[in-house]
Structure 1
């Protein structure tokens, strides 16, 4: 009987050791999976951050390119269009926002560069092709707001290749005037190009060979 109990006890201890060993293996495997998934997640997050940074760098490059393309040189040739940037923004607004956006006359426009006519009503806009060192202040916003009241417009916007001062941002609150900085302008431009591409693709017949 004693021998039997000893055998059973030995078998029990052996099974316990086996179960303990299996448990340790399972724990180590779970830990391995945890760290593997954690590293995978970290790689995914790092890739997302790098992609986001790359996207931001691309937008910044395009923003600077827009400024260099449309800035007004002191020795502007008389044959050059002084409203080139205004027409560029007008085309973007027409595509992205719908309706019809027109460039006002260079004189007698009371500080308004763009008039957007839509089903909702009239929107007024002003554009500023500035560099990084020249942020837009509150003055253009005040002009747009004044003309909104005089012309019965329901909204407005100020567009720049630069950025807005904190005073300008604070001043625009509650006026229904959208402030579109350089990076946002690039995003609208890319959206405009994509919408144009899709429209062209719809008009292009598919040739079956």
Structure 2
């Protein structure tokens, strides 16, 4: 716990703190929703980052539920019970061999802005003691994340870009907005729909939009994709 307290400006150490005390294989820390945007701040491995990205793209999963409810989400059997809660998410992580997922909200007071995601390839459950410990650690991470976000306001040009940055999607949203003159929310939804239809991650589709390989146009009163 002290190690986590003393690492406010070292996001790469956030995940390790959870892995050192909990029976999980991977962890990710992410902001979600409109308060700070959707961004993976840190991930212990590529699989943890992929699990986060799938949830961003689909708009469902344990991190969303934890953020919206401001309470932990504990699902030791995502392959069975998880299919009822998050059908698209549970189906999407089948190739990853993930059996258990847990999410703890990032929140300060009434402000909800993210979650810590944990996963295990083997079926595991967290004891009450472990769950309370993870909650306490998530509270520490919440303070670190919010302080970093507030400190970076007005200094985006100098802010280090995470290896898991979602800025591509923000940039692509602006491009689509300019191409077909729709709201930012609708532009992002179009990118999400295109990614879903093509079976690709949103960031890949966003890169195609930014590079000009994929464009949206208005034709006969409808919005179409121009490849």
- The TM-score, its normalising length taken from structure 2, stands at 0.22
Bigger proportion of residues as helix? 1
More contact order relative to length (CA 8 Å, sep ≥ 6): 2
Bigger proportion of residues as strand? 2
* Structure of greater Rg: 1
